[in-house]
Amino acid sequence: MTKEEIHTIIKNTLLSDAIGIITEKILAGIRISKEEGLLLYEQGEIGFLGMLANWINSEKNGKNIYYNKNIHIEPTNYCVNKCKFCSYRKNPGEPGFWDYSIQEILNIISQHYKNNITEIHIVGGVHPDRNLYYYADLLKQIKSNFPKLFIKAFTAVELFYMIEKAKISLYDGLVILKKNGLDSIPGGGAEIFDKKIRSKICDEKASAEQWLEVHKTAHLAGIPSNATMLYGHIETYEQRIDHLLQLRNLQDNTKGFQAFIPLKYRNKNNELSHLKEVTLTEDLKNIAVTRIFLDNFQHIKAYWPMLGKEATEIALTFGVDDIDGTIEDTTKIYTMAGAEETKPTLSIEEIKNMVKNAGKEAIERDTVYGIVSE
Ligand code: V47
Ligand code: SF4
């Protein structure tokens, strides 16, 4: 779809004046405001939003859909926090509790290394008895055993806890981790920045300001990161747009975010299980609005273990240019929360078919979006 074709659609359809004006701004490369973003959520028609987001994405990334060969490591599900949406946290002694040693983590990586993985993604519970130097040692041992692997590790929530406990500055703590092998930071823990919602769903964990400060400091220290938003629980559209605005503002300052990942709330086995999950239409609308609003983010990722494989394929024409990776059945966070994929694994053939069905091209990348040649 070209710009001219979108202009024709605006003229010949029953789009409201307001949506028509916002679209003209977008086509002219003019940033839209918070109020205009909210209007897209409230009044935007799903097919039109998808077309617009797909056009923006093709201007930024052509037909490329990025994926990587990765595994996740979830070192423990022991956690000092008690987020109401979490289906994963367990106390020692409870069925389903785990707490891997460094050696066990190295063994897991060895089992997958032969498959040419390029990245390990490490996130887990905030363990009360571990500290910054333990995690620095973990990174160091992974790097010395598997020097070619990129390590994307620890949400801002885990980082804030371990660095505060070490009584050093965020900058110094992050530099220690970087020197020991931290290559990038995943986007988890952001949830929804709004104070009222945060106090209702994840009262104990790092605040919005602390989450943003960790990412800002990481960018200053030369560590790139991702950002997420947990949507589809008790938040409003206004709170979603406010969350996106705070990310867009920080990205203007630091340019350190690589990808934005909307995370759909899944409702099994947690304290918010009474809430209904949102529909696929809502998922696609949310993806499209985020692609339109976050004009300074290069990549929008559909995290397929959360969204499901079929929905991810559709998302590829709603503004998404990244689908995370092969994962090889190494994450439990979403399975425990009721996502369809009970053993999340995506083969290269499946990725290529999914991307081809969407009329795009699959490109293998590393963690920092360098292209991996076959
Ligand atoms: O912060 C927890 C979410 C996140 C549920 O950076 C839930 O590339 C839905 O950050 N329903 C951790 N979501 C995962 C994460 C992530 C995942 C994929 C890629 C990247 C990246 C980062 O998982 C948590 C929380 O927002 N989460 N429970 C649930 N019931
Ligand atoms: Fe802990 Fe993360 Fe679960 Fe919150 S979502 S309780 S921080 S493991």
- Indicate the DSSP class of residue 30: P
Evaluate if residue 334 carries a pLDDT over 90: no
Backbone CA torsion sign across 265, 268, 273, 274: positive
Backbone CA torsion sign across 195, 320, 365, 58: negative
Rounded distance, CA 112 to CA 125, Å? 23
For the purposes of burial, counting CB atoms within 10 Å of the CB of 27, is it exposed (0-12), middle (13-18) or buried (19 or more)? Answer: middle
Average pLDDT, the chain: 94
Evaluate if residue 62 carries a pLDDT over 70: yes
pLDDT, one tens digit per residue, over 216-271 is: 999 999 999 999 999 999 999 999 999 999 999 999 999 999 999 999 999 999 99
Q: How far is ligand 1, taken at its centre, from the CA of residue 46, in Å?
A: 25
Rounded distance, CA 65 to CA 289, Å? 19
Domains of the chain: 3-57 (no CATH), 63-373 (3.20.20.70)
Evaluate if residue 12 carries a pLDDT over 70: no
3-state class (DSSP) for residue 335: helix
pLDDT, one tens digit per residue, over 297-307 is: 999 999 988 89
Residue 323 near ligand 1, beta carbon < 6 Å: no
- Atom 4 of ligand 2, residue of closest alpha carbon: 83
Instruction: Judge if pTM exceeds 0.75.
Output: yes
Residue 123 near ligand 1, beta carbon < 6 Å: yes
For the purposes of burial, counting CB atoms within 10 Å of the CB of 374, is it exposed (0-12), middle (13-18) or buried (19 or more)? Answer: exposed
- Atom 27 of ligand 1, residue of closest alpha carbon: 86
C-alpha neighbours within 13 Å on the C-beta side of residue 260: 31
Q: How far is ligand 2, taken at its centre, from the CA of residue 208, in Å?
A: 15
Query: Which of the listed residues 72, 74, 86, 191 should we mutate to test ligand 2's pocket, taking the one with most ligand atoms within 8 A of CB?
Result: 86
pLDDT, one tens digit per residue, over 123-133 is: 999 999 999 99
C-alpha neighbours within 13 Å on the C-beta side of residue 238: 3
- Atom 18 of ligand 1, residue of closest alpha carbon: 303
Which atom belonging to ligand 1 lies closest to the Cα atom of 264? 9
Residue 232 near ligand 2, beta carbon < 6 Å: no
Residue 81 near ligand 2, beta carbon < 6 Å: yes
Which atom belonging to ligand 1 lies closest to the Cα atom of 225? 6
3-state class (DSSP) for residue 87: coil
Give the pLDDT band of residue 3 (cuts 50, 70, 90). Answer: confident
Residue 153 near ligand 2, beta carbon < 6 Å: no
Residue 322 near ligand 1, beta carbon < 6 Å: no
Residue 87 near ligand 1, beta carbon < 6 Å: yes
CA 260 to chain centre: 5
pLDDT, one tens digit per residue, over 69-79 is: 999 999 999 99
Please compute the mean of the pLDDT values over residues 58-75 and round it to a whole number: 95
- Atom 8 of ligand 1, residue of closest alpha carbon: 186
Query: Which of the listed residues 82, 83, 85 should we mutate to test ligand 2's pocket, taking the one with most ligand atoms within 8 A of CB?
Result: 83
Q: How far is ligand 2, taken at its centre, from the CA of residue 87, in Å?
A: 9
- Atom 23 of ligand 1, residue of closest alpha carbon: 188
Residue 333 near ligand 1, beta carbon < 6 Å: yes
Backbone CA torsion sign across 280, 284, 287, 289: negative
Residue 214 near ligand 2, beta carbon < 6 Å: no
Q: How far is ligand 1, taken at its centre, from the CA of residue 260, in Å?
A: 12
Residue 88 near ligand 2, beta carbon < 6 Å: yes
- Give the ligand with the smallest distance to the CA of 124: 2
Residue 188 near ligand 2, beta carbon < 6 Å: no
- What is the reported pLDDT for 18? 86
Query: Which of the listed residues 230, 260, 336 should we mutate to test ligand 1's pocket, taking the one with most ligand atoms within 8 A of CB?
Result: 230
pLDDT, one tens digit per residue, over 168-199 is: 999 999 999 999 999 999 999 999 999 999 99
DSSP string, 256-323: -EEEEEEEE---SSSTTTTSPPPPHHHHHHHHHHHHHH-TT-SEEB--HHHH-HHHHHHHTTTT--EE
Rounded distance, CA 204 to CA 81, Å? 6
Give the pLDDT band of residue 14 (cuts 50, 70, 90). Answer: low
**For residue 78, how many other CB atoms are within 10 A of its CB?**
20
- Atom 5 of ligand 2, residue of closest alpha carbon: 86
